[in-house]
Amino acid sequence: MFSSELWNKPEESAYEIAFSCRFDRGSSSYLNRTVQSGGNLRKWTFSFWFKMIGSAGFGSNQYYLATTKLSSPYDTLIFDIDSSSRLYYQVAGKFFYPDQSFTDTSNWGHLVIIYDSDNGTADDRRIVYLNGTRLGVHDSQALSQNTDSKFNSNSVHYIGARQDLGGAYFGSYYLAEAHWVDGQAYDPTYFGKSSGGSWVPIDYKTNTGTYGTTGYFLDFAINDDLGNDVSGNNNDWGANGMGTDHRTTDTPTNPS
């Protein structure tokens, strides 16, 4: 669980997030995209805001966040992989568990997931930040320097589903302000800041705006085109099992 002071919306927020996207198992909802060649396989950053939906199944099921469709082992990010409801982060067959449980269904949080296998410091090749704070390591397998990831490779990628689209292997959460930055290992201060005891979003696209070749920014502003990339790269995603009701106004800056 998290300290509520890290989740609450401050009295004033200079940057507002207007929309989020709801993923749910009942609809088998997910986004997919075939990533073209040219992405950096050794350095990328994924920043997004999320809110879990429902506690049923915590500790026994997997809530898929992102995967690639390649031969096993595929790269993956999963909520609720074990009895402690942790985030499971796998690249090149090597797992990484941050020391944090994810069972809060009432509040929004911000995750920044970094892959930087070029880094000469082994502990800095996979980093996860929650609400601006770097998470400790619960368990991990060693990752060799200069290991290529399958994220960013020329293959089909998914948000909200497992790569084989097996039964019930989908997500159940809200997602907002999703930035994928190709070729950079950016810390959370590029995407958020501390304000009045809370961690709040800032305007990454205006302030920095770097996305690289395969990068994208999903703001979910178009209810019949939820996979529309507004980064300027036009790296759009296909929406599956998502009606117009999957766009919501429940966001980190306007929680409901």
Q: Are 237 and 218 in contact (CB under 8 A)?
A: yes
Per-residue model confidence (pLDDT) at position 23: 94
Examine the pLDDT at 1 and tell me if it is beyond 60.
Answer: no
| Residues near 108 by beta carbon (within 8 Å), at least 6 away in sequence | 7, 49, 50, 51, 174, 176, 251, 252, 255
Q: Are 150 and 23 in contact (CB under 8 A)?
A: no
- Residue showing tokens 């949080």: 109
Examine the pLDDT at 101 and tell me if it is beyond 90.
Answer: no
AA letter at 43: K
Give the angle 2-28-50 at the CA atoms, nearest 5°.
20
Per-residue model confidence (pLDDT) at position 57: 55
| Residues near 212 by beta carbon (within 8 Å), at least 6 away in sequence | 39, 40, 44, 181, 182, 183, 184
Tell me how far the alpha carbon of residue 247 is from its chain's centroid: 17
CATH topology of domain 4-248: Jelly Rolls (2.60.120)
Buried b / exposed e along 80-108 (16+ C-beta atoms within 10 A): bbeeebbbbbbbbebbbbbebbbebeebb
Kindly report the average pLDDT of the chain as a whole number.
89
Tens digits of residue pLDDT in 13-67: 589 999 999 998 889 999 999 998 899 999 999 999 999 987 655 556 678 899 9
Examine the pLDDT at 2 and tell me if it is beyond 70.
Answer: no
- What pTM value is reported for the model? 0.92
Percent share of the chain, pLDDT over 70 = 91
Give the angle 114-117-122 at the CA atoms, nearest 5°.
95
Q: Point out which residues pair with 159 in neighbouring strands.
A: 31, 66
pLDDT greater at residue 56 or residue 239 = 239
Domain boundaries, the chain: 4-248
Q: Point out which residues pair with 201 in neighbouring strands.
A: 192
Tens digits of residue pLDDT in 136-161: 999 999 999 999 999 999 999 999 99
Local confidence band at 3 (pLDDT 50, 70, 90 cut-offs): very low
